[in-house]
Structure 1
Amino acid sequence: CLYAIGYCCKTNYSGLSLPIDNKHESSIYTIGFIFTTACCCGDTLASELGSVLARNNPRLLTNPFRVVPVGTNGAISFVGCLCSLLGGFIIGLSYIIGNSIFCQPDHMINTSMINIQLLFYCTLFGLVGSSIDSILGATLQFSGYDREHNVTVQKPGPSIERISGVNILS
């Protein structure tokens, strides 16, 4: 959100792309906004699609040998990691396509090597953002299992078996 506000201030709400191939201060806002969005999209796709598409139960990121139920904070799966990469890739590709369609030629990124690097880093940040969220989830968010109802829960209780985390960010 802060990157979006900074972007608007730097471009005077003109809708112009900020050139990231030059050494402009405003380029930091563009890169920050794109990478932050890639992290968020990667995490969202991993959480939503990874839990549905994965055939095996996920493993806890802080203890990869421990298999945990679907829905556990901090749990990852191979399919979820692929979805994270896909989320970052989608954001990078969307930026490159949008930049080529909607921006004035003197304001757009026209170097294919920069586009390839941007796409690579967006894809990578999709996974990095999802991994950071999983570490925080495994340590600072409570996950428990309610055996009576056979569901994963986010709040501790008398009949809840703790899986991971503490109840700080829950």
Structure 2
Amino acid sequence: MADVGKKQLLALQEFKARGGGSLADVITRACSKGRKKRSSAAHAEASRGCLHAPGHGAVKGSAVSRRQGGPGGAEVISLGISMILFSWDDSNKDYFKMMTNIIILSVLICISLSFWIVSMTASTYYGTLRPISPWRWLVSILIPLIIASRGFKKKSLDHSGAIGGLVVGFILTVANYSFFAAMFMFFITSSKLTKWKGEIKKQIDSEYKEGGQRTWVQVFCNGGVPAELALLYMIESGPGEIPIDFSKQYTASWMCLSLLGALACCAGDTWASEIGTVMSSEPRLITTWEKVPVGTNGGITLVGLISSLLGGTSVGVAYFISQLMFVNDLDISAPQWPIIVFGGMAGLLGSITDSYLGATMQYSGLDTSTGMVVNHQTKDAKHISGKPILDNNAVNLFSSVVIALLLPGAAWGFWPRG
């Protein structure tokens, strides 16, 4: 077996040094080298046999030659398998990846065309439904799939989170490209900030996960409200981009701002928690204004509030830019710049709402054995604030619901008319 391993290594080295060649040629060269070495050894052994036992050297040499002459079938097969694996790793990896991408794209195109046929059939049958173009179907499937797969590879999502993100992304993208732009900004910035200064966060947060590793529960608590609003938006006005104008399309505009508010709320809370916890400023509890340890639910800082404002603004900017890119009749509609201001206010107010719910309905305790803030009661935990009614995911969900329901109505009173 040792000889077989040496031959395999020799063949692999020769294959790599000479830039490849056919598998049969390399195996033949390796076996020929092994045969020459064994023939020399057999000849020397036969000569020694003739010296020590006259008349029997030829027989002994012949036996040695038969025993060590050429490689057997098992050796050739073993070497061939090694060569196949070697050439697969070095030569065919890129080809396999390319073919996989082509197959996936072909399947997605077929799915998109199938959806388009269904939408055309439904539009023809009912007469009031606007069909969705095959290009929109393809973009709605392909782009969320790429984002979800990259999020999984970078450990921003686990398996269930990637599937949940794919579903939410598909619904938002097929409904309105501006919805997708806002969601994309929230996901990218939140993922980057979650990984930012992770070593410090490990020492503060007892539930910190490397890279974030969001599950399907977290995905739907942050994206469930926007996904539902996107479905209602498609029922109301059909898929497509519209300017936000209360004087012309009140219900559809209200739903657009409601969805933007929910995403900006989640972005503002994420920015505040991910940036505020690693800064040196000491947080204060929002209900009593007492100083609390870093990581306490309901603790706020000036840095955190500014971060929440910027987080919501970033989502508003993404929505506004996509409006400029995809909406055609902006010149006869109300100004769209208030979208940016609305996003910033939704992020700030959403973070404040989240902090208040966290301070009152989410348990926070200081574990004396580790010095970390925990979200559940233990024998070593000293109570800081809140009651064990909601967890962090539920707090995020309720905060986004509150902002999505209340803020569009308030914005209607101040929104410019076209």
In structure 2, the partner of 1:87 is 311
Structure-to-structure mapping, 1:62-101, within 5 angstroms: 62-64=287-289, 66-101=290-325
Tell me, yes or no, if structure 1 residue 144 matches structure 2 residue 370: no
User: What runs of 5+ residues in structure 2 fail to find an aligned partner?
Assistant: 1-224, 392-418
Residue 19 of structure 1 contacts residue 109 of structure 1 at CA under 8 Å; is this kept in 2? no
- In the superposition, relative to structure 1, how do residues 21 and 144 fare at CA in structure 2: closer, same or farther (>3 Å)? same
Q: Deviations over 1:102-155 (max 9, x none)?
A: 23x12x4776x8333222222111110000000000000000001111110001
In structure 2, the partner of 1:56 is 281
Residue 18 of structure 1 contacts residue 26 of structure 1 at CA under 8 Å; is this kept in 2? no
Residue 89 of structure 1 contacts residue 119 of structure 1 at CA under 8 Å; is this kept in 2? yes
Secondary structure, counterpart of 2:277 in structure 1: helix
- Taking the aligned partners of 2:331 and 2:246, their CA distance within structure 1 comes to 7
Indicate the RMSD between aligned Cα atoms, in angstroms. Answer: 1.8
Q: Deviations over 1:24-55 (max 9, x none)?
A: 12111111111121111111111112212x21
- Taking the aligned partners of 1:116 and 1:22, their CA distance within structure 2 comes to 16
Q: Deviations over 1:3-36 (max 9, x none)?
A: 12112223423x3235425331211111111112
Residue 21 of structure 1 contacts residue 109 of structure 1 at CA under 8 Å; is this kept in 2? no
Secondary structure, counterpart of 1:86 in structure 2: helix
Residue 57 of structure 1 contacts residue 69 of structure 1 at CA under 8 Å; is this kept in 2? yes
Residue 244 of structure 2 contacts residue 336 of structure 2 at CA under 8 Å; is this kept in 1? no
- In the superposition, relative to structure 1, how do residues 3 and 18 fare at CA in structure 2: closer, same or farther (>3 Å)? farther
- Taking the aligned partners of 1:41 and 1:102, their CA distance within structure 2 comes to 23
Task: Give the CA deviation at 1:79.
Answer: 0.6
Secondary structure, counterpart of 1:139 in structure 2: helix
**Residue identity opposite 1:79 in structure 2:** V
Task: Give the CA deviation at 1:99.
Answer: 0.8
Structure-to-structure mapping, 1:102-113, within 5 angstroms: 102-103=326-327, 105-106=328-329, 108=330
- Taking the aligned partners of 1:109 and 1:35, their CA distance within structure 2 comes to 24
**Residue identity opposite 2:323 in structure 1:** N
Task: Give the TM-score of the pair, scaled to structure 2.
Answer: 0.37
Tell me, yes or no, if structure 1 residue 30 matches structure 2 residue 256: yes
Question: Which structure features the higher share of strand residues?
Answer: 1
**Residue identity opposite 1:49 in structure 2:** I
User: What runs of 5+ residues in structure 1 fail to find an aligned partner?
Assistant: none
Residue 21 of structure 1 contacts residue 114 of structure 1 at CA under 8 Å; is this kept in 2? no
Task: Give the CA deviation at 1:69.
Answer: 1.1
Tell me, yes or no, if structure 1 residue 20 matches structure 2 residue 242: no
- Taking the aligned partners of 1:85 and 1:109, their CA distance within structure 2 comes to 29
- Taking the aligned partners of 1:57 and 1:12, their CA distance within structure 2 comes to 48
Question: Which structure features the higher share of helix residues?
Answer: 2
Task: Give the TM-score of the pair, scaled to structure 1.
Answer: 0.88
Residues 73-82 or 33-42, more deviating: 33-42
Q: State which of 339, 342, 348 in structure 2 corresponds to 1:127.
A: 348
In structure 1, the partner of 2:376 is 155
How many pairs does the alignment contain? 164
Residue 243 of structure 2 contacts residue 336 of structure 2 at CA under 8 Å; is this kept in 1? no
Q: Deviations over 1:39-87 (max 9, x none)?
A: 11111111112212x21121111111x1111111101111110110001
Larger RCO, structures 1/2 (Cα 8 Å, 6+ apart): 1
Secondary structure, counterpart of 2:318 in structure 1: helix
Secondary structure, counterpart of 1:63 in structure 2: coil
In structure 2, the partner of 1:5 is 231
Instruction: Give the number of the structure whose alpha-carbon radius of gyration is greater.
Output: 2
- Taking the aligned partners of 1:85 and 1:150, their CA distance within structure 2 comes to 30
**Residue identity opposite 1:20 in structure 2:** D
- In the superposition, relative to structure 1, how do residues 166 and 70 fare at CA in structure 2: closer, same or farther (>3 Å)? same
Residue 140 of structure 1 contacts residue 167 of structure 1 at CA under 8 Å; is this kept in 2? yes
Secondary structure, counterpart of 1:114 in structure 2: coil
